[in-house]
Structure 1
Amino acid sequence: MSKKLQEEVIQSLQALNPPQPPKLVGFLSSEDPAARVYAEWTGRNCRELGFEFELREVDREDLEESLIAANADAGVHGIIVYYPIYGSQHDRYLQQIVGLNKDVEGLSHTYIFNMYQNIRFLDEERKVKSILPCTPLAVIKVLEYLQIYNTILPYGNRLHGRTITVINRSEVVGRPLAALLANDGAYVYSVDVNDVLGFHRGQGLKKKRHEVTEKPGWTMKDCIPLSDVVISGVPGDKFKVPLELIKDGAVCINFSSEKNFAPGVKDRASIYIPAIGKMTIVVLLRNLLRLYQNTLAQQNSS
């Protein structure tokens, strides 16, 4: 799946034929070994696909000024920051410093607002596309590849009739993913440690964006057996999706570093995707290319 998306990104880049490769700058300001591994992985994939990558290691107290400088640098086309840095609200503040036209992770307020409101473009002419967060978008690309999206239906409604459970409601992945899937027409059960919420656009997709409905008393036992797709991303090695709840022939996707599905899932699922890390990296570069295309579109219209 990632190779197919890689080919699409490479072809789009070659079609643009830019005078210089779009440049992604990564900022590493923590001692987290996982962050360094991710940075090295990003750089390797950048170069393999024809992009330029530069890793800048800066003290976290200097990161704010470094981001502002990168925003102003016309030679930088995308910025990624390897979190956590402070592991607090200040990290969210730093996310908002990255310029809208360089935010490859889609973490800026405008992008988050557009995602939840189901606004897909930044301009009225619908030429400049909004950027989506990488991991949720990677899951969507997997579902598109698996043809869970029904291409006979109109764009934006192609999950109509699908029931999906997302186990994880983090603000980074779980909640955005549930919103995106519901905005595309699915009925999504969002499962957290405390409750279950329903994300949907109403009967017949009457609403333009998703709404959230409480499901009092519901647990995984209620929603997983109803689901065509089960997506789980719970950190820690103590959680497993109960196999007996999974509908025969369901699609199961794991996006946690831990395996949330026991090996026996292959006996129940029609398709099992154990990890989406490679897909996430390609989506990151796809976002970089989109930012570059957006910059060109805005230059041509001015």
Structure 2
Amino acid sequence: MAEEKPHCKVVLANSIVKNLLEEVHDGLKKINKKPLLVGFLSSADPAARVYAEWTGKTCSENGFAFELREVDRELLEDALIDANNDPKVDGIIVYYPIFGSRQDQYLQQIVDVSKDVEGLSHRYIFNMYQNIRFLDPQNTKKSILPCTPLAVIKILEYLRIYNTILPYGNRLHGRTVTVINRSEVVGRPLAALLANDGACVYSVDINDVQQFTRGEGLRKRRHEVVEKPGWTLEDCLPLSDVVISGVPGDKYKVPLHMLREGAVCINFSSERNFRPEVKEKASIYVPAIGKVTIVVLLRNLLRIVQNKIDEEAAGNEEKSSEEKTVQATS
């Protein structure tokens, strides 16, 4: 009798977003306003337009206001500054790529840190790489993380790849993960976040492999990166119990014969990086994550609005205390 292959569970984004949406709805009840998210579309990329339409639909279905502004890319910088200065705008998202160059990185820094729902401002990126999880010394305001890497983290939590018995920061201890793609927007931040949570991560790019870890034995506060000269996917995949791929374009496919039996496979590319046969080898397969990314975006927007409300309340309290002191001494 032939040995029966393990059954692969295909997990769709819709199943994952339910709990996250409940969290968003609870957060929305605590603020007395309908947050306004403004999206800027300055690219002819069809995937960017689809993402913009999904964002608008998810916002309107879940009690958020959304406004899409289509702006010529040469006018985008001024348009972002106007949105920064507009008190009605709570959050800003820009649909990249626009110039596909360092100019895109410059535009990411134009967005005001208090409206940056994508977590791409220098302060948020610095905190993420340094493994600083809060914006204030009292640890009450969580820092904002980039949406797509955070969506992958939320998926791994949903799949119970994170071990909740362990303390925060070590919940991926013992896990080996391969991330195929080292873009500055998704691949590299994701490798850093996973390593900061205790995983051994192989970050695979077209030219080389890097290993992200928090060190052996006495674990460091933040990850460190070492080059793996001569390494390729062939070295990483057999070691990895989780494989996450986000290579753009429809030509790239993860070589299935190298996958470890029972691996968890997650695709974050707009194209399918895994062939349908992946289900014969993987234990869990997540074919797309776009819907999770948008709900994480709303979660980030809520966090930004709540941080602002808390700051204003603290400012009013301080002002009131100063006024009482003045009255008492006059």
Is 1:10 matched with 2:31? no
Q: 2:217 aligns to what SS in structure 1? A: helix
Q: For structure 2, which runs of at least 5 residues remain unmatched after alignment?
A: 1-15, 316-330
How many correspondences in the alignment? Answer: 300
Which contiguous aligned blocks of 4+ residues in structure 1 show a shift greater than 6 angstroms? none
Within-5 A mapping of 1:41-120: 41-120=54-133
Matched, 1:154 2:167: yes
TM-score (norm 2): 0.88
Which of the numbers 97, 100, 124 marks the counterpart of 2:137?
Answer: 124
Structure 1 unaligned spans of 5+ = none
1:193-244 deviation line (CA, Å, top 9, x unaligned):
1111110001135210000011111111111111110111111222221212
Determine the structure 2 residue equivalent to 1:20: 33
Q: Give the secondary-structure state (helix, strand or coil) at the position aligned to 2:244.
A: strand
Contact 2:47 2:270 in 1 (8 A): no
**SS across alignment from 1:189:** strand
The one-letter amino acid paired with 1:39 is A
Contact 1:128 1:297 in 2 (8 A): no
Quick one: which of 152, 172, 178 aligns to 2:191? 178
Alignment correspondent of 2:307: 294
User: Would the aligned equivalents of 1:136 and 1:176 in 2 still touch at CA under 8 Å?
Assistant: yes
1:241 matched to which residue of 2? 254
Native 8 Å contact 1:185 1:205 kept in 2: no
What do residues 56-115 of structure 1 show as CA deviations (whole Å, max 9, x unaligned)? 222323222221121122211100111222222222111101000100001101111111
Partner of 2:151: 138
Give the AA of the match of 2:244: I
Q: Distance in 1 between matches of 2:255 and 2:49?
A: 34
Give the letter for the 2:143 counterpart.
Answer: S
Look up the match of 2:293: 280
Query: SS at 2:118's partner residue?
Result: coil
Counterpart CA distance in 2 for 1:33 and 1:256 is 14
**C-alpha separation between the residues in 2 aligned to 1:205 and 1:167?**
28
Q: Distance in 2 between matches of 1:226 and 1:143?
A: 18
CA contact (8 A) 1:127 1:297 kept: no
Structure 2 distance, partners of 1:263, 1:239, is: 13
State how far apart, in whole Å, the 2-side matches of 1:35 and 1:236 are.
Answer: 14
| Distance across 2 between alignment mates of 1:205 and 1:12 | 37
Give yes or no for contact 2:118–2:145 (8 Å, CA) kept in 1: yes
Whether 1:194 and 2:199 are equivalent positions in the alignment is no
Partner secondary structure for residue 236 of structure 1: coil
Q: TM-score, normalised by structure 1?
A: 0.96
Structure 1 CA distance for aligned equivalents of residues 35 and 231 of structure 2: 47
Q: Say which SS state the counterpart of residue 53 (structure 1) adopts.
A: strand
**How far apart are 1:35 and its partner, in Å?**
2.1
Deviations 1:18-73 (A, max 9, x none): 33211101112233333222211111100111111111222323222221121122
